């Protein structure tokens, strides 16, 4: 492909404005050319704000457009599978917001549809493609903190009530585990480089909205590795992670959305070293640039969509553990 990858956005979701479009504007290999909404007026207003040449009054119209190569899917969780499969069948590559699907079964259907169509599918856990995370992988692999024993990771923020926020809407796939929970779960799986064998969890179900708004998890990994994770929609705090080994530990203040200037600190028995990353770009940019390489040059994604299956299995197990009070084998 000798021209930029041409993107269309399915829906006028806020994250498209605050995260995705700024990343595309920093890209050298892609451009946003279209947006679709169920309302043509909303689509046209969005297109006007962001100087997009095309606006569609339905998602199907955008997918039928021959001037669009790839789709950004930031729709509610319950619509990820339907419209990702539709995009694949229209020959569009897909960058889909997390969680990839509502369940492992849905994710498998999406993966199969994209593979059958020969299009790229990437889940938007953008930290997995960032230089900060790639450096962390190098340090863990060379034993910088010895044997990894314990990961502690969290992601919490407060959604005010009453609210129409889709994170509190059960019918649209709301709940903390399907939203903020995916970050520490995916991060801990990345850090250990394998899947957990069991999940314990305590969850708080909001009596008004019927979704989990707080959860604490313990994941056990093969051997004696443990991850303790916190997620929530009704507590301030934000992101954070720490990894503890038998020879040292690593502290990450921005593990999931590294800022244009970010850093983390390695502590060993004898020294402390800070690793700084001056990328100059917003958190989505490295993932988007890698996506462009995969589309234009036929490379396989550094992290394939199959990775989503592990996180979704943990979320299912955590919800069951919260309901039953039992440890769930994964």
Distance CA 128, CA 186 (A): 9
Strands 212-220 and 198-205 turn out to be: antiparallel
Cα-trace Rg, the chain = 20
Dihedral over Cα of 272, 240, 306, 104: its sign: positive
Is there a contact between 95 and 72 (Cβ–Cβ < 8 Å)?
Answer: yes
Active-site option among 92, 98, 135, 261: 98
Respond yes or no: is residue 261 known to be catalytic. no
228 by Cβ neighbours in 10 Å (0-12 / 13-18 / 19+) ranks as middle
Distance CA 87, CA 53 (A): 20
- Strand arrangement, sheet containing 234-245: 272-278, 261-268, 248-252, 234-245, 148-158, 226-232, 212-220, 198-205, 328-329
Tell me which residues are annotated as active site.
98
């Amino acid at each position: 492909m000798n021209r930029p990858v041409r993107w269309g956005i399915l829906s006028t979701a806020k994250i498209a404005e605050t995260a995705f479009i700024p990343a595309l504007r920093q890209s050298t290999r892609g451009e946003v050319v279209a947006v679709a909404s169920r309302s043509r007026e909303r689509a046209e207003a969005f297109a006007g704000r962001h100087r997009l040449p095309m606006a569609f009054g339905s998602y199907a119209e955008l997918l039928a457009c021959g001037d669009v190569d790839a789709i950004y899917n930031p729709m509610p969780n319950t619509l990820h599978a339907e419209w990702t499969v539709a995009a694949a069948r229209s020959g569009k590559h897909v960058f889909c917001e997390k969680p990839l699907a509502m369940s492992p079964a849905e994710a498998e259907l999406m993966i199969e549809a994209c593979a059958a169509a020969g299009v790229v599918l990437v889940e938007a856990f953008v930290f997995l493609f960032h230089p900060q995370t790639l450096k962390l992988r190098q340090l863990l692999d060379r034993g910088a903190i010895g044997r990894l024993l314990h990961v502690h990771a969290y992601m919490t923020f407060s959604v005010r009530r009453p609210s129409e926020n889709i994170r509190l809407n059960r019918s649209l796939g709301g709940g903390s585990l399907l939203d903020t929970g995916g970050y520490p779960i995916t991060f801990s799986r990345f850090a250990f480089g394998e899947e957990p064998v069991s999940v314990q969890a305590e969850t708080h179900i909001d009596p008004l909205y019927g979704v989990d708004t707080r959860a604490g998890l313990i994941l056990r990994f093969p051997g004696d590795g443990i991850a303790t994770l916190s997620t929530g929609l009704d507590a301030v705090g934000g992101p954070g992670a720490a990894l503890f080994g038998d020879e040292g530990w690593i502290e990450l203040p921005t593990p999931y959305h590294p800022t244009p200037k970010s850093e983390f600190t390695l502590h060993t028995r004898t020294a402390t070293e800070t690793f700084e990353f001056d990328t100059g770009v917003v958190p989505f940019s490295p993932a988007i640039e890698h996506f462009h390489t995969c589309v234009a040059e036929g490379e396989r994604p550094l992290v394939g969509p199959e990775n989503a299956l592990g996180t979704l299995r943990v979320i299912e197990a955590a919800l069951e553990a919260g309901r039953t009070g039992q440890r769930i084998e994964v």
